Structure 1
Amino acid sequence: MTNMNATIYEKHGKYQISISWTVNGKRFRKSKATGLPVKGNKRKAQAMADAFMAELESKVSDGYTDVLFSDYMKQWLEDVKFSISESTYEEYYRQIHNRICPWFAAQGLRLCDLKAYHIDKFYKLKMKNDKVSAKTVLRYHANIRKALQRAVKLDMIPTNPADRVDLPKVKKFRGSYYTPEELQKLFECSKGTRFETVILLAGYLGVRQGEACGLRWKDVDFEKNTVSICGSLKAHDLYKDLYYGETKTEMSYRTLPMPEPLARYLKQLRKKQLEQKMMGGESYHRKWDGYVCVDQMGDIINPKYISRYFADLLAKNNLRRIRFHDLRHSCATLLLENGATLKQVQEWLGHHSYVVTADTYGHVLVESKKTMAETMSNLLGSSNAV
């Protein structure tokens, strides 16, 4: 980088500042109005020019580019595209193109001019005006920080302004869950509906909705009485299509023993689907042949629509309102209340770390241990030792 040059010049009777410099053979120039009348203010204007040049020198490095921050974010996403999964890319694309970039583009903020207070203002406005949650803000921040960290690494900016932003505190979320009696009633109400199989898989095995919809018959072993979770059905928002992809994390690849009622149901379902395929003939849809969660004409159950239809099913049958994902919580809670350890539940659910399981379900163990305290009270309550 060549040395910067600062000059002052007259425009409409007032002093203007012009700073010029060269990086890697490319010439840059920035101008700024002083607001000072020309007469009697030359020294003040020069002092302002020197201060402006010092400010720019603290920002400019060998990799400097005069790019808008919004454009840089989009380019960063394309740069990391092939190092992340397709579903993760889609999630990042929605955040960056639909939420982050529009606001920063409207401000006209360049990467080199971005400050911590700009990012802080964006988060606060999103929470106030768009009512986004603190958890969503943390997702925005994760991508903004990673993108800026790469800019620091490439010498495009000297420091990462995202590191100086105070983040909102996320309220700890506890999902609802059904009792065994409520689950049994739900199973009865779902009989014969389009979503019966998905509901049974989620209730008995605690699988995610994409894992349930993506289950294939070759992953069901009736001899060993197991179900292997090898992938997930995902909605491709960018191209308006469904595809079979990776599970959420590496730990999500798992093999689970089938409870006897579920194994019996799946055997009957397999037989019924073979009959429906023969009866449907050429009208039977073959695209999703081999998948468990298909309707009588072979159409796959789209995970995007499950939550809406699940809510309708609960309302129609006067069942307590929970989210479909809470069937996963229900499964985990029942396992913990009946003797399973957090480590066992982590492996069953396919959480990527023990910490996630402990943070989500630690309170369940506290509740279940109350009975142990009562047992000790009954056994030792009459002791004179206390």
Structure 2
Amino acid sequence: MDVNFGPGARDDATSADDFMESGMTDAEMIDAESASEQEMLPPKADRKAKKTKREQQQEIRGSVENARKTPASKGKRKSDTNADSDKTMKKSKSGSAFVPNWCNGVNPLLLQVRQVSNSDLGSSSDSSSALKTNGLGGFTDDDVLPVNRRVQMVMVKARAPKSTVPEERSMAKQSLPDWARLKWDTALIPSLVEHFGAEPNPWVSSTSGSSFRTTLQSVIDRVYPEEHLSITLNDKVFKMAQQAVYNWRANFARVAKEVVRKDLLACGGGDGPDKRQEIQTFVRDALDDHGYAFWGKPNITIYALCSPYILKTFQCHITATKGSQISCGLPRGGLALTITAVEWVLEMWKTRKYESDGTSFSEVDVGDMTELWVNGSVSTFYRKPHRFEHFLYKANTLVKKPQWKVHCCRRSRTAIRDASSPVPEDSDA
């Protein structure tokens, strides 16, 4: 009997209509259908090739249980594997570009690398103390190799000025004419200072315009007799000589500041409130008519205008006139500027303003103070040349011996005036 395995294919003899026509009962019809289905199934060998879903699940579970029961196989260590692979690997030819034994020609210092053993290398089981002892990666400070390297000197280019001053506007000494440059600091300027220092009041002296040109021309004729020069108001020599006189007057205040500051610090002055109060008290007493600022020996009021402050400040005038080739008499103008500078500086220490109010050592701010000294004590001092000569002697002695020291004393305020009798000598005082 041929079996058709196509979908829905059945034999006509076994169809339901045939059973109905044959007059079979229901039970007989069911048995007949079962028999026909058995005939339509494929052979037994073919049925074993196809598994149900249940059988597949049971097979998977069985393989998993067998895998769990089977112990894990022990694989070879990596080192053993590498050793086996090294045995099987063939020795390849060297592909290096270096010549064999090239290390022999290298500096031995560069080859003194420490041989690090496996025990020196850090591992995950090493403790932190072992790492500190062996060093990071087995290296220590001794493994640092000295390198012979020479220090290289680099020349730094000098910084150029932002702008260059034209030659006609430059006030540098190098811009002076050759004839003036030779004796400028050694003879010309000292002679000018000598002239204006002998004037009664250097603030009102002719230091500008045609009057200053006349004075400068006479000094140049004395210092440079062979030149036969004529100076004009626009000459650079005129402008720079005028500036030199201005600098000479301003130098009195600069020196007085330094002299007073050093003396106050030597007496124990400081920045504390108590020290500042002591300094103000001392300065106020020093500015008295019998005070330390104006007398050589305040306790017995002798040596008027010979105080250490005045003598030390007057040194700048003595230094500025060294090399002068003219003689103009006693320097009463220089003495007046000296006393004015000392009083002006002490007043700043007393009020603790220090030029913060805008005042400066100029004719506008200290011109009246200078005029009072010129018409008062300096005029009296000038009329007694022996006293003035004694003052110059002590000032020059102080220049030679800068360590000379005078002790101070504080007295009440009266008036500064000279005694009618001659000034006693140091041995008689």
What range describes the TM-score normalised by the shorter chain of this pair? under 0.3
TM-score by length of 2: 0.22
Bigger share in strand? 1
